[in-house]
Amino acid sequence: MKNLRNPLLCLTLALALLLAACGSSPASPPAPVHADLSALYEQLCALPDSGETQLVSEKRLRNFYGIDPDTCPQVILAQSSDTLRADEIWLIEAGSEAQAEELYALAQSRIEQLGREMKDYLPEQYAVVQKAVLVRSVCYVGLFISPASETMAEQFQQALAG
């Protein structure tokens, strides 16, 4: 009892209680985003300006694109059904942020490659390639080469936003 009468001790105790009451608990990390890329692909294919595309086989993913689908939770890569069109859609959920960065670089290389192929051969398709949109968000990568590329990229970002 004698110690509680000491004004300095009472003040220190009151300050400690006040600081404890004002403290906040640490913020919980945001819930991980999980977008259904198959459903998104169906939405993108339904857009008015999107060309008809077909999914790329696992063998082609590995051998032509250099993508190992076994290391990615979700991979959808589609090319135009018409070989004279440059249209491509990449919707990939990488296994890690580092892998997403590698896939992003791979997609940039793909845009450059298609540009070189189309520049003199199909100038109107070269213009489509020049308007390609490439998006990366944490572990997701989206590449959109289409007359509807901007709309596709917007829908991709909306799907990732939840």
pTM of the model: 0.79
pLDDT over 50 (residue 26): no
pLDDT at residue number 142: 98
∠ CA 66-68-69 to the nearest 5 degrees?
130
**Buried-state track 44-79, b at ≥16 Cβ within 10 A, e below 16:** beeeeebbebeebeeeebeeebebebeebebbbbbb
H helices present in the chain, as ranges: 7-22, 37-45, 58-60, 97-121, 123-130, 149-161
pLDDT over 60 (residue 5): no
pLDDT over 80 (residue 131): yes
Do the Cβ atoms of 86 and 125 come closer than 8 Å? yes
User: 79-113 pLDDT, tens per residue?
Assistant: 999 989 999 999 999 999 999 999 999 999 999 99
Percentage of the chain with pLDDT > 90?
A: 73
- Provide the pLDDT confidence category of residue 49 given band limits of 50, 70 and 90: confident
Mean local confidence (pLDDT), 114-136: 96
User: 61-87 pLDDT, tens per residue?
Assistant: 999 999 999 999 999 999 999 989 999
- Provide the pLDDT confidence category of residue 12 given band limits of 50, 70 and 90: low
Mean local confidence (pLDDT), 140-144: 98
Do the Cβ atoms of 41 and 52 come closer than 8 Å? no
pLDDT over 70 (residue 11): no
Write down the mean pLDDT value for the chain.
Answer: 85
